[in-house]
Amino acid sequence: MNAIRYTIVPKNAAAHLFEVSLTVAAPDRSGQRFMLPVWIPGSYMIREFARNIVTLQAFNAAGRKIAVEKTDKHAWATAPHDGPITLRYEVYGWDMSVRAAHLDEDIGFFNGSSVFLAVEGQADAPCVVDIQKPAGAQFAKWRVATALPEARGTKRYGFGKYEAPNYDALIDHPVTLGEFALGSFDAHGAQHDIVISGRVSALDMRRLEVDLKRVCEAQIALFEPRTKKAPVARYVFMTVAVADGYGGLEHRASTALICNRADLPVTGRPDMTEGYRTYLGLCSHEYFHTWNVKRIKPAAFAPYDLSQENYTSLLWLFEGFTSYYDDLMLVRSGVINVTEYFALLGKTIGGVLRGSGRLKQTVAESSFDAWVKYYRQDENAANAIVSYYQKGSLIALAFDLSIRTQTAGKKSLDDVMRLLWQRYGRDFYDGKARGIEESEVEALFAEATGADLKKIFRDGVHGTRDLPLEALLEPFGITLAADIATNGTSGKPSLGARVRNGADCVLAAVHENSAAQKAGLSAGDVLVAIDGLRVTGSNLDTLLSRYLPGAKVEIHAFRRDELRVTQAKLDAPEVSRYVLSIADKRGASKPHRERWLNG
């Protein structure tokens, strides 16, 4: 099969335009169709990237124009034509996220799903992409970072030709262009690169290399305890550091991340900050996806249909379990300690138990509806939906603890992950691709562990009953308690509403059956006074700390431009986190606990 040849050049950084061309040697003679994905795998929302294609033209081998027309929101078709066709188009890139494309004078970044049109009928054709250097002296030091393999003649990190065996691979390797800091480490024989772009001073790259190596090696050893074989020969962590950002997207041999520059480690300051822990957790999360969702996949994603929503009820397994293991791998690899790990767990438990949406939607339903609910949250989200990330990670915890207790420590959730890997993941890109069906999951868990997990499946995955975490933690010598005293306003009553950041006290969300809701307040309302005292975006907690739960207060608030006066009876303090404590430090539960936390 002839290769499809793409070129991409950052044409006009000031206008944020990439110029892309693609040549099909043997197109469909009755008219060739081209399409751009409407979503990017890993981010379950229709984004319609084709809206950023500004101009598009088609040419024959002699450079003469061929008629081409748009056939729907994301597809084009040429007139019937015999012989090679070249498309030339411009893509607007002004999205500083990990999901699309971005170009300015400092950085270029793109996912293939935003810039490379697919040639209908030739998804299996090999692809060659020529990544060209932008013209101009200011770009002289720009380099290329991607996990795409270089074609012969192209130097690593250089501009030039890169290769992919098919379209699916082409768009699964994001590309960073620009001047970036570069680190590298070996994890069980595989090269791992760290690419940091954005303005970051005094970056402690050495520390990043040391910490990420530990995390990566722990994950490789989890899936391949005997061979310690990494899932890829080379892996790239690419991060853009900004003032305020957080997110990541997983790919088969790399991840694109965005973080706060303040979260990155500073040379000469070896302490573990909350920000750095968050960043390492994000790296750990995306790396775990190299196995769980990029190779072990739900049947609905094998293959992806990039023209519409792909429905699966299993995101609790692919995102939730990944969320469980991201922090667990930090503690198991020694990058954080047990106290820090328990604090993260306590925060997740608080986060899940705070929203009443958990009593209405199961994680399986939340997975299925991710496209219109989890990814499109509004002010009512906490009252209507449950996060398949957060609750999914607690389900993983419940499975893990239950399996360990039932089998006296002989089996664990790790055995489930390994069986998933052996059966569905290891050979995924070797042409033996098959995803796991929803109906196969429960039996696989039983096969891997021999444990009886029916109740967790029934109540936790397909039900809305809260997980019995206190009872599950007990055999590990760990107690669980609500924490209402850590934010310095112990016992402070609550309105049961979330306030937006800003100068005014604007309600961002109102919890169901809360004092605020009973008083008739809604998201969007601007509170101006409580008992005649002015309330702002920053002093609500201070004002409320003068009252006891159950006290009645008078609230003045604007809805649109209309002033309302209402009475609220204050709620009990809100529980935002839970505290996990080791009750029995030296007792019989110690080895059980250490096997879990040390791996």
Contact residues toward Zn ion (CB under 5 A) are 319
Distances (CA, A) of 469 to 330, 344, 382, 451: 21, 15, 21, 17
Q: Specify the residue, 173 or 289, whose C-beta has the smaller distance to Zn ion.
A: 289
Provide, rounded to whole angstroms, the least separation between the CB of residue 108 and Zn ion.
25
Q: Which residue number, 317 or 505, has a Cβ lying nearer to Zn ion?
A: 317
Cβ 319 to Zn ion shortest distance, Å: 5
Q: Toward Zn ion, which CB reaches closer, 364 or 484?
A: 364
Cβ atoms of 20 and 116 within 8 Å: the answer is yes
Distances (CA, A) of 44 to 41, 171, 174, 312, 439: 7, 16, 17, 10, 22
Whole-number minimum distance, CB 249 to Zn ion, in Å? Answer: 8
Degrees to nearest 5, angle at CA 460 with 455 and 461? 105
- Angle 373-99-204 from CA coordinates, rounded to 5°: 120
Instruction: Give the shortest CB-401-to-Zn ion separation in angstroms.
Output: 22
Three-class HEC string of 473-520: HHHHCEEEEEECCCCCCCCCCECCEEECCCCCEEEEEECCCCHHHHCC
- How many Cβ atoms are within 10 Å of 271's Cβ, its own excluded? 7
Nearer to Zn ion by Cβ, of 320 and 477: the residue is 320
In the chain, how many H helices and how many E strands? 17, 28
Give the residue with the Cβ less far from Zn ion, 319 or 414.
319
For the chain, the distance separating the N- and C-terminal CA atoms, rounded to the nearest angstrom, is 47
Least gap, CB of 322 to Zn ion (angstroms): 5
The b-or-e profile of 49-81 (16+ CB within 10 A means b, else e) is bbebbeebebbeeeeeebebeeeeebbbbbeeb
For 397, the token pair is 């915890």
> Smallest distance, Å, CB 56 to Zn ion?
33
Using the minimum distance from each CB to Zn ion, give the nearer residue, 42 or 93: 42
Least Å distance, CB 323 to Zn ion, is 7
Closest CB to Zn ion among residues 341, 388: 388
As a dihedral over the C-alpha atoms of residue 401, residue 407, residue 413, residue 418, rounded to 10 degrees, the angle is 170
CB of 236 to Zn ion, least distance (A): 17
Minimum gap (Å) between residue 42 Cβ and Zn ion = 7
Q: Considering beta carbons, is residue 319 or 369 the nearer one to Zn ion? A: 319
Buried b (16+ CB within 10 A) or exposed e, 293-319: bbbbbbebbeebebbebbebbbbbbbb
Q: Which is nearer to Zn ion, 289 or 577 (CB)?
A: 289
